[in-house]
């Protein structure tokens, strides 16, 4: 092959050397035009050809890129001649056949959909946060209600290839978004707008449960639902005003009830105080009565004991003692008179005759 290339370049050299000469002119004599240098196409031997061949192969491989690198939080969907492989490729380095095979990278990290009334600027879908308009729902009476939610989910890496094969790369808009909107409309539509704030926790639980059942109930469970958070319930202005009026009325009723309870407590307090005073008086009177009764009982008992102890012999002895005292007194006062009580019982009556008043009374 090298000799053929040399013959070709020698022929071209000969043609260039004869360029500009008149026909019939000789080739000698030094009157010809410029001559091209002779090129050695052997490249100094066979080793150089091998080197150039290897370089060409490397360049071709780089351009064809027969490998792919999958990062953590991602999975690779291998397509061979347009057909997806059932098992997704795990993170790491994977070699493929250029042109015949192709790898599609899908994100398996947690993603967020915010349903908000005010669409604010975010990092875009590449940051894993997708912002959508709030869900408008009609309540039980047909009044419009705005629901704001935050849904956290991730692609089920175990069935990532089947999910992409069945739903495509826009599977989120075909699964998560329609299911959430449908569930919210069905749940909120059962309530009146006025009762939504009071039933907030129950409604949030119903929405979370229904969305999970709907998503996980699909074939191959395409998504792993993390949470469904009810953030805000937007009510019509008229409903808000009505709720405020009801709240004010309830507060007034509660205030009136508190006033009544306070008045009852005051009355009970005063009654308790009066009862305490009356009870105190009763206790004091009872105490005095008990004291008198005890004293009377003590006296009666004493008199009874004394009467039981008075025997005829004791009375005669007492009379003799008193009579002796009178006899002693008569020795000192000869004018005195002694009157004995009927039956001769003691005491006797002593009358001092020296005293004019007693003398007159005795006569």
Angle between helices 200-216 and 176-188 (to 10 degrees): 140
Task: Let me know: does 101 contact 88? Beta carbons within 8 Å.
Answer: no
Q: At 128, give phi and psi (nearest 5°).
A: 85, 5
First to last CA, the chain: 197
Helices marked H in 190-235 — which ranges? 200-216
- What pLDDT, on a 0 to 100 scale, did the predictor assign at position 9? 46
- What pLDDT, on a 0 to 100 scale, did the predictor assign at position 11? 54
Structure token digits, residue 155: 């692609």
Q: What is the DSSP letter of 357?
A: H
Q: What is the DSSP letter of 342?
A: G
Quote the pTM value: 0.52
- What pLDDT, on a 0 to 100 scale, did the predictor assign at position 2? 41
Helix (H) or strand (E) holding 112: strand 111-116
- What pLDDT, on a 0 to 100 scale, did the predictor assign at position 133? 92
Strand 129-133 with 111-116, pairing: parallel
DSSP string of 123-185, one letter each residue: S-GGGTEEEEEPEEEE-TTS-EEEEEEEEEEEE-GGGHHHHHHHH-TTHHHHTHHHHHHHHHH
- What pLDDT, on a 0 to 100 scale, did the predictor assign at position 271? 84
pLDDT in tens, the chain (363 residues): 444 444 544 555 555 444 444 444 444 444 444 454 554 445 445 678 788 888 877 777 667 678 888 999 889 988 888 888 888 889 998 888 888 888 999 988 999 999 998 765 444 455 788 899 999 999 888 889 999 999 999 999 888 889 888 898 889 889 999 999 999 999 999 998 888 888 999 999 999 999 999 998 888 889 888 999 999 988 888 877 777 777 777 878 888 888 888 888 888 888 888 888 888 888 888 888 888 888 888 887 777 777 777 677 766 777 777 777 777 777 777 666 665 555 555 555 555 556 555 544 444
Task: Let me know: does 223 contact 175? Beta carbons within 8 Å.
Answer: yes
- What pLDDT, on a 0 to 100 scale, did the predictor assign at position 269? 86
Of 132, 223, 221, residue with least CA distance to 181 = 132
- What pLDDT, on a 0 to 100 scale, did the predictor assign at position 236? 81
Cβ atoms < 10 Å from Cβ of 228: 23
Question: Distance (Å, rounded) from C-alpha 33 to C-alpha 306?
Answer: 183
Task: Let me know: does 142 contact 96? Beta carbons within 8 Å.
Answer: no
Structure token digits, residue 36: 């091209």
């Amino acid at each position: 092959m090298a000799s053929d290339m040399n013959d070709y370049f020698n022929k071209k050299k000969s043609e260039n050397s004869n360029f500009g000469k008149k026909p019939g002119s000789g080739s000698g004599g030094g009157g010809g035009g410029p001559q091209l240098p002779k090129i050695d196409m052997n490249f100094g031997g066979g080793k150089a050809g091998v080197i150039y061949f290897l370089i060409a192969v490397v360049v071709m491989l780089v351009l064809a890129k027969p490998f792919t690198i999958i990062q953590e939080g991602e999975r690779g969907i291998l397509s061979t001649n347009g057909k997806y492989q059932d098992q997704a490729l795990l993170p790491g380095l994977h070699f493929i056949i250029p042109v015949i095979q192709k790898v599609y990278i899908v994100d398996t990290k947690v993603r967020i959909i915010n349903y908000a009334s005010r669409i604010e600027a975010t990092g875009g879908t590449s940051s894993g946060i997708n912002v959508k308009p709030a869900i408008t729902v009609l309540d039980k009476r047909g009044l419009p209600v705005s629901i704001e939610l935050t849904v956290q989910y991730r692609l089920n890496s175990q069935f990532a290839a089947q999910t992409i094969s069945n739903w495509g790369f826009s599977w989120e808009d075909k699964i998560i978004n329609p299911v959430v909107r449908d569930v919210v409309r069905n749940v909120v539509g059962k309530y009146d707008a006025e009762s939504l704030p009071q039933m907030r926790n129950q409604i949030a639980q119903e929405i979370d449960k229904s969305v999970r059942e709907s998503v996980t109930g699909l074939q191959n469970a395409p998504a792993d639902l993390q949470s469904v958070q009810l953030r805000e319930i937007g009510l019509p202005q008229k409903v808000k005003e009505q709720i405020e009026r009801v709240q004010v009325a309830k507060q007034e009723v509660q205030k009136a009830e508190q006033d009544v309870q306070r008045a009852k407590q005051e009355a009970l307090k005063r009654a308790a105080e009066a009862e305490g005073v009356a009870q105190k008086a009763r206790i004091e009177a009872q105490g005095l009565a008990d004291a008198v009764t005890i004293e009377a009982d003590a006296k009666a008992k004493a008199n009874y004991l004394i009467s039981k102890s008075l025997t005829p012999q004791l009375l005669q002895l007492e009379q003799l003692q008193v009579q002796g005292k009178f006899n002693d007194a008569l020795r000192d006062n000869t004018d005195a008179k002694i009157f004995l009580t009927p039956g001769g019982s003691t005491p006797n009556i002593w009358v001092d005759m020296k005293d004019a008043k007693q003398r007159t009374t005795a006569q």
